[in-house]
Amino acid sequence: MNEINWLAADLVPGKIIQLSMFPNIPDNDETISHKVIESSLIETRSGLLITIKLENTDTKEIYTYVYPDVVKVEMPSNFKYYLYSIDRSKLPEFKTKKVRELLEDNKNTDDYDFYRNGPTFISRILIIK
């Protein structure tokens, strides 16, 4: 079973999770607990789109987190996932540089997947119970 399948199996209704949009690797992350109400993982051209509808376990507030353009899911330990999403703010600069490199090497730019090979940022999902 790969990391994406494990993540999908862990994001079921009733699970308690903690999210961190900017994980403080290797220090402590945020510790706000949320109960999963529902989730979906959808494959798109530019990566996986993950949506998670949550309830804050302290305030009972309900909201949805969305992780677009996830190109890699890493599971460094049981119940901890790092999501690598395309950093679209850096994509134009990356594409310009990469096109130049490909043309200098006489390679076809049409065959290169700029989204899946572009700059990323990391988010973290921790499954509590």
9 burial via Cβ count (<10 Å: 0-12, 13-18, 19+): exposed
Domain containing 65: what range?
A: 3-86+121-127
Number of structural domains, the chain? 1
71 within a domain of the structure (yes/no): yes
* CA–CA separation, 19 and 29 (whole Å): 8
14 within a domain of the structure (yes/no): yes
- The encoded tokens of residue 62 equal 């309900």
112 within a domain of the structure (yes/no): no
Residue 64: predicted pLDDT: 94
Report the chain (129 residues): mean pLDDT per 10 consecutive residues: 87 92 60 92 90 94 93 89 88 83 79 74 86
109 within a domain of the structure (yes/no): no
72 within a domain of the structure (yes/no): yes
Residue 111: predicted pLDDT: 67
pTM above threshold 0.85: no
Residue 78: predicted pLDDT: 83
The amino acid present at 77, given as its one-letter code, is: S
